[in-house]
Amino acid sequence: MSKVRILGIGSPSGDDQAGWLTVDALAAYGVQGEHELAIDKLDRPGARLIGLLEHADWVILVDAMQSGDRPGRIKRFGQDAWPGYTHGLSSHGLGVLDALSLARAFGILPPRLDLYGIEISLACPGDEAGDDIQAAARHLARHIAADLAAASR
């Protein structure tokens, strides 16, 4: 039985809840398959993310992104496509890619890592996520559920 960890990353700020909405939707659908499954909703985890990648066979990570594309657009990133580390680490903001890059340097990335980004628009504290983001989260949750079910066959 493979150990699968699903991480939804976000904050209580409008569209930035995209990762949380995805794992909520996935939990609501139910997950089929023979997996030892852990689902976490994380708020800007910083370096804590590194420890969550260890001892898992498969990690699925969903976060919001802003690339100027259409809000609600879903993109999957392979490890070779992670944006280059160029800006230096800040003590205030250790981002998801910083943490993933550190985990790669430590040699503790899981055998399979699916990194998804959902393009977002506004991230205002206290606001609800937009309809396009909520729809994208449900769509991605169904896709992940299908992936997990297929992996068990």
Partner 1 sequence: MTERRSVAIHVPVLARVEGEGALDLRIEQGDIAELRLRIFEPPRFFEKFLEGRHYTEIPDMVARICGICPVAYQVTAAQALEDLFGVELDPWARVMRRVFYCGEWIQSHSLHIHLLAAPDFFGCGNAIELARIAPDEVRRGLRIQGLGNELMDLFGARSVHPVGVRIGGFHGAPSLARILDMRDKLRAALPEAEALIRWAAAIPVPQDDQVFVSVATRHPADYAIERGDIGASDGLRIGAEAFDAHFIERHEPYSTALFSTYHQQPYLVGPLARLNLNHEYLPGAIRALLADIGLVLPSRNLFHSLLARAVEIWLALYEALRLLDGYRVPDSPWVPATPRAGVAIGCTEAPRGLLWHRYEMDDAGCVINARIVPPTSQNQGRIEEDLRLSLLNFGLDHPDDALRLHCEKVIRNYDPCISCATHFLRLNVARA
Residues lying near partner 1 in the complex (CB under 8 A) are found at 44, 47-48, 50-51, 85, 87-94, 98, 101-102, 105-107
Strands (E), the chain: 2-10, 35-43, 58-65, 74-77, 112-119
Residue 18: Cβ-neighbour burial (10 angstroms; 0-12, 13-18, 19+): buried
Nearest-approach distance from CB 107 to partner 1, in angstroms: 7
Nearest-approach distance from CB 45 to partner 1, in angstroms: 10
**Residue (76 or 87) nearer to partner 1, CB:** 87
Which amino acid appears at position 55 of this protein? H
**CA-angle at 128, arms to 51 and 75, nearest 5°:** 55
Could you tell me if 65 and 120 are in contact, meaning their C-beta atoms sit under 8 angstroms apart? yes
**Residue (31 or 96) nearer to partner 1, CB:** 96
Nearest-approach distance from CB 12 to partner 1, in angstroms: 12
**Residue (85 or 135) nearer to partner 1, CB:** 85
Nearest-approach distance from CB 80 to partner 1, in angstroms: 16
